[in-house]
């Protein structure tokens, strides 16, 4: 049987290393973009074939990588995002930067390769290397608009805080290795769970939460997100929200949530537990994200804070799963919560990808990211306006779109548990989010455009990308069963991480 994961890795590696040489042969056009699209497409098909084959064996990487349903899910998800970003970049990267496009697409390939390796990592050191392989290219991509002060500022802030995040993860790995004597995630997680009488174990777990929480943009580790999203090219902001952010979630699942016996993070503590810590972070993240989004006047910053709030909803599933691992009476709720979290992660990638790419098209064509530029957009750019409206309705959880079902699963999973208050907080925050989502939709369709009111041409490439994403929002909402089944199938793989 062909080694599909190796094929995906090889395809992305060849593209990442080979595309920059096009700088010497083709300074114009999008040859590098088409080559990277082909490479990412091959990688996606290889991972899909691996998932269809049902293979769960280790690969020539030894114990560093292994195939499982969870890895297949996140690898396909992140590669799908990278593919949409690469296609959208053909239209959204300004012509003034075409000369540097080989480097742009090479960095995008490196980031995609890192996300795939994170998805399948079963070794802490391999996870860290893959994390850096994903992160370092995104620091450069955030500052790709070299003539923009905002882009340069975003890249510097993102790189500095990203370096702190990486250092935190590396320190957590060193503490874990010192306690357990192994770098294998499964063995280290099982051993770390038995060392919880040692306060160093609790510190290691918290450091992992902090390090991964940066990429997940959960409060209070979210400070980089609004500036980075606003300063980066819009396709890269979509990559941050819909792609690299998901790599943070899978890393959290593989490492932190694999510690199934983790009850108290400090000896003799009944309150300072992993589920309680995650619950507080979930509440703070969804609340601050929504409140901050209400006050924004920039579309990219509004989308950034909205993305932060969505991370809070996903954490609800992590809370009940962590609690259920240590309390078997809540095993059913734990399974439902994690399936809901995985479903919402999938939905969020689709919804937020559509929102950022539609906003990017508006910013490119109208030259402004201010919310005022979106007044009357339904008449000037109907495709972008419709895509943005559908993604906002889905993010708000309006039935029967896809966001409704995953939120319903998340909130239902905690109703009959000690964390029922998270369901109440989630519903209230969802109602709060309708305020700014509805406000933007009202401006697009009911307000009169200021200044020029003539229609704006929308590229066919972007129309196709947005059309596919909107179709997925509708289809996943009308027929959620297959996606829910896919998420549920990935959940049992978590139990194997600890034993």
Does 373 fall in a domain? yes
Does 447 fall in a domain? yes
Name every residue whose Cβ is closer than 8 Å to that of residue 52 and which is 6 or more positions away in sequence: none
Does 326 fall in a domain? yes
Highest mean pLDDT among 196-205, 306-315, 453-462: 306-315
- What is the count of structural domains for the chain? 1
pLDDT at 498: 39
pLDDT-wise least confident of 36-50, 91-105, 443-457, 467-481? 91-105
pLDDT at 496 over 50: no
Other Cβ atoms within 10 Å of 54 Cβ, number: 9
pLDDT at 233: 85
Does 368 fall in a domain? yes
- pLDDT tens digit sequence for 435-447: 899 999 999 998 8
The percentage of residues in the chain with a pLDDT greater than 70, rounded to a whole number, is 90
- pLDDT tens digit sequence for 164-176: 999 999 999 999 9
pLDDT at 327 over 90: no
Does 215 fall in a domain? no
- pLDDT tens digit sequence for 336-381: 999 999 999 999 999 999 999 999 888 888 888 788 888 888 888 8
Domain that residue 368 falls in: 273-499
Does 213 fall in a domain? no
Are 339 and 409 within 8 A, CB to CB? Answer: yes
- pLDDT tens digit sequence for 86-143: 998 888 776 545 557 888 899 999 999 999 999 998 899 999 999 999 999 999 998 8
The pTM (predicted TM-score) of the whole model is: 0.91
- pLDDT tens digit sequence for 240-292: 888 888 888 998 888 887 775 445 555 555 667 888 889 999 999 999 999 99
Does 335 fall in a domain? yes
């Amino acid at each position: 049987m062909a080694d599909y994961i190796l094929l995906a890795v090889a395809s992305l590696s060849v593209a990442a290393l080979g595309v920059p040489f096009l700088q010497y042969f083709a300074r114009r056009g999008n040859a590098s973009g088409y080559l990277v699209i082909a490479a990412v497409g091959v990688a996606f098909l290889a991972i899909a074939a691996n998932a269809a084959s049902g293979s769960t064996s280790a690969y020539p990487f030894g114990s560093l990588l292994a195939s499982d349903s969870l890895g297949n899910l996140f690898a396909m998800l992140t590669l799908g995002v990278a593919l949409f970003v690469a296609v959208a970049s053909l239209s959204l990267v300004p012509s003034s930067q075409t000369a540097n496009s080989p480097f742009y697409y090479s960095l995008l390939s490196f980031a995609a390769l890192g996300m795939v390796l994170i998805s399948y990592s079963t070794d802490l050191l391999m996870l860290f290397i893959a994390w850096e392989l994903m992160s370092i290219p995104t620091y450069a991509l955030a500052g790709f608009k070299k003539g923009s002060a905002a882009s340069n500022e975003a890249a510097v802030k993102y790189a500095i805080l990203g370096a702190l995040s990486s250092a935190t993860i590396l320190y957590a790995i060193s503490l874990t290795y010192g306690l357990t004597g192994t770098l294998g995630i499964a063995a280290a997680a099982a051993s770390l769970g038995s060392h919880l009488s040692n306060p160093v174990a609790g510190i290691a777990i918290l450091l992992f939460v902090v390090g991964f929480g940066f990429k997940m943009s959960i409060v209070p580790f979210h400070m980089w997100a609004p500036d980075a999203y606003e300063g980066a090219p819009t396709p890269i902001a979509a990559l941050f929200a819909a792609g690299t952010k998901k790599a943070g979630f899978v890393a959290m699942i593989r490492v932190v949530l694999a510690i199934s016996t983790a009850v108290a993070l400090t000896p003799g503590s009944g309150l300072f537990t992993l589920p309680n810590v995650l619950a507080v972070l979930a509440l703070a993240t969804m609340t601050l994200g929504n409140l901050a989004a209400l006050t924004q006047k920039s579309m990219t910053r509004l989308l950034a804070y909205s993305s932060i709030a969505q991370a809070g909803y996903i954490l609800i599933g992590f809370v009940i799963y962590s609690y259920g691992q240590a309390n078997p009476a809540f095993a059913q709720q734990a399974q439902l919560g994690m399936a809901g979290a995985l479903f919402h992660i999938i939905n969020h990638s689709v919804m937020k990808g559509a929102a950022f790419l539609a906003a990017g098209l508006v910013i490119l064509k109208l030259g402004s990211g201010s919310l005022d530029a979106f007044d009357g957009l339904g008449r000037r750019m109907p495709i972008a306006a419709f895509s943005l409206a559908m993604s906002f309705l889905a993010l708000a959880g309006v039935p029967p779109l896809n966001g409704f079902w995953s939120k319903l699963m998340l909130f239902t999973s905690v109703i009959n548990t000690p964390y029922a208050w998270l369901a109440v907080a989630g519903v209230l925050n969802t109602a709060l989010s309708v305020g700014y989502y509805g406000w933007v939709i009202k401006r697009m369709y009911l307000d009169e455009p200021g200044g020029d009111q003539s229609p704006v041409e929308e590229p066919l490439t972007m129309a196709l990308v947005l059309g596919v994403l909107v179709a997925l929002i509708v289809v996943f909402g009308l027929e959620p069963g297959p996606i829910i089944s896919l998420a549920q199938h990935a959940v049992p793989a978590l139990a194997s991480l600890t034993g």
